[in-house]
Amino acid sequence: MSSILTNTSATVALQTLKSINSDLNKVQSEISTGMSVSSAKDNASVFAISKVMEADVAGFEAVSESLSLGQSTVAVAASAAEEVGELLNEVKTKIVSANEDNVDRNKLNTEVQSLVEQITGIVDSAQFNGLNILDGSKDGNSGFSVLSSLNRSADGSVKTGSISFDPSLTNLSTKSGTDLTAGTNPTTNLTTPVSYATADIGPDQTTIATIAGANGFGLSQASGASAQFVIGDFELLTSAGAVGGGVALAASDVDLSAATADDGLVAGDKVSLTLGNTAATYTIGVGDRTEDIASGLRSALIEAGLDQSEFTLDTNDSTGSLTIDNNTEQTVNGYFQISRASGGLAGLDTLDVSTATGASSALSRIESYIQTAVDSQAQLGTTEKRLEIQSNFMSKLVDSFNNGIGSLVDADMEEASARLKALQTQQQLGVQALSIANQAPSTLMTLFR
């Protein structure tokens, strides 16, 4: 039956042509953008995966920049440490000469002092972008850590990794300090540092009990209770070596020979805290306030891997304290200590070869200084190598991710070209078919002639 109201052939031809045009538009989009999935409507799941991967690539590139900055920082320090080592060897030759009888020791002593001044100058200037990891008396030596990785877990959470080392291992400062008293709890003047609680600190009236060992303590709690450890109110030294400073000063700016010098803190002093198997150390930097020290120790504990589901860490800026709550139902032992490390080359400036006795003493001492410089170079070299390996890995990782993203969303241009030709032919035939179908009703007019 033929009808002038319903042209089934034309309807079918029209739908076919629309489908061909839709496919043709998609292929043309792939060719123009180079992507088979350019928006979420193309393939929502693949689009979402690709965007997450692209975000990770952006993070990896930021990590690569951090690694480059870290490599430059360590390279400057390594070059300086190498130069220091060579100068120390030269100092040794002068000392050996001074141990001879028929020499002018005063002139040799002048040369030694000149070389020592040169070493001090090199260490002082071995900074990159303001960070000096050779001089323990500087703010830059309060810790060195380089962002090295971005790790995504299966649940979607992202954590960062870092390459770090204790700058005290590379400390070639010639500035010395006085070690704080070891084996006892810090004095009240030093920190008012540890609240070995004698009042109620939980529903079960749990208290912190001192355990064997200097500065040792135990954190315990019963079910539903909380045990706390409070450390804070750090006392800082003034330039005269008395407590009461507002900010931490460089050791070189403080009279460490003062009787009260052991009662306060200066830049370069280390605050160490161990909780169970987690050990963390914060090195005080120039300009640190007591609240900065508490906050720095908190960050050090977190970076060291302290489980924050088991311990709650809260800082109080008004008191400059860190409160640690033990949320487990187990006793956790810990250890607290404050120490003042001397520069690795401390005392180098006291070498005196102007006398036979001084020359003999200097000869026995110079070897330890040379070994310190060698150890520093080895530590810096190891760190340089780690940063280089990680930087190369991050470069390869970015390439791998980009290739993975490409395999998900990039268009197959050869296939797209073939499909374009085929669809263009289908489009022409579809238009011809629709034209023929549209002419069908007009043939009915011949029935009425």
Q: How far apart are CA 438 and CA 430, in angstroms?
A: 12
Mark whether 185 and 308 lie in a shared domain.
Answer: yes
Mark whether 189 and 305 lie in a shared domain.
Answer: yes
* DSSP calls for 216-271: EEEE---TT--EEEEEE---EE-TTS-EEESSPPPGGGS-TTSTTGGGSB-TTEEE
Amino acid 297 reads L
231 touches 193 (CB < 8 A) = yes
Mark whether 317 and 218 lie in a shared domain.
Answer: yes
Structure confidence by residue, pLDDT tens digits, 373-425:
999 999 999 999 999 999 999 999 999 999 998 888 888 788 888 888 888 88
Give the burial class of 3: count Cβ atoms within 10 A of its Cβ; 0-12 exposed, 13-18 middle, 19 or more buried: exposed
Mark whether 240 and 268 lie in a shared domain.
Answer: yes
Domain count, the chain: 3
Mark whether 422 and 388 lie in a shared domain.
Answer: no
Mark whether 255 and 392 lie in a shared domain.
Answer: no
Q: Which of 341, 359, 393 is the last residue of a domain?
A: 341
Q: Is residue 357 part of a domain?
A: no
Mark whether 110 and 244 lie in a shared domain.
Answer: no
Domain of residue 13, residue span = 8-34+411-446
Q: Is residue 213 part of a domain?
A: yes
Q: Is pLDDT of 248 > 70?
A: yes
Q: How far apart are CA 395 and CA 64, in angstroms?
A: 7
Q: How far apart are CA 191 and CA 293, in angstroms?
A: 11
Question: Nearest to residue 120, comparing CAs of 185, 176, 184, 63?
Answer: 176
Report the pLDDT value the prediction gives residue 93, as an integer from 0 to 100. 95
> Using 50, 70 and 90 to split pLDDT, how confident is the model at 342?
low
Per DSSP, 95 falls in state H
300 touches 270 (CB < 8 A) = no
Mark whether 390 and 330 lie in a shared domain.
Answer: no
Q: Is residue 359 part of a domain?
A: no
Give the burial class of 413: count Cβ atoms within 10 A of its Cβ; 0-12 exposed, 13-18 middle, 19 or more buried: exposed
271 touches 288 (CB < 8 A) = no
158 has which bridge partners?
152
- Give me the half-sphere count of Cα atoms (radius 13 Å) on the Cβ side of residue 258: 18
With pLDDT > 70 as the criterion, what percentage of the chain qualifies?
83
Q: Which of 325, 341, 357 is the last residue of a domain?
A: 341
Query: Mind spelling out the 3-state secondary structure of 381-437?
Result: HHHHHHHHHHHHHHHHHHHHHHHHHHHHHECCHHHHHHHHHHHHHHHHHHHHHHHHH
Q: Is residue 350 part of a domain?
A: no
Report the pLDDT value the prediction gives residue 204, as an integer from 0 to 100. 28
Report the pLDDT value the prediction gives residue 191, as an integer from 0 to 100. 31
Mark whether 308 and 380 lie in a shared domain.
Answer: no
Mark whether 393 and 416 lie in a shared domain.
Answer: no
Report the pLDDT value the prediction gives residue 136, as an integer from 0 to 100. 67
Mark whether 382 and 312 lie in a shared domain.
Answer: no
User: For residue 392, what are its two tokens?
Assistant: 């190369």
Q: Is residue 59 part of a domain?
A: yes
Give the lowest-confidence range in 161-170, 239-248, 286-295, 411-420: 161-170
Mark whether 185 and 311 lie in a shared domain.
Answer: yes
Q: Is residue 3 part of a domain?
A: no
CATH code, domain with 380: 1.20.1330.10
Q: Is residue 318 part of a domain?
A: yes
Structure confidence by residue, pLDDT tens digits, 101-147:
888 999 999 999 999 999 989 998 988 888 888 886 554 445 678 88
Give the burial class of 149: count Cβ atoms within 10 A of its Cβ; 0-12 exposed, 13-18 middle, 19 or more buried: middle
Report the pLDDT value the prediction gives residue 177, as an integer from 0 to 100. 45
Report the pLDDT value the prediction gives residue 377, as an integer from 0 to 100. 93
Q: Is residue 97 part of a domain?
A: yes
Give the burial class of 198: count Cβ atoms within 10 A of its Cβ; 0-12 exposed, 13-18 middle, 19 or more buried: exposed
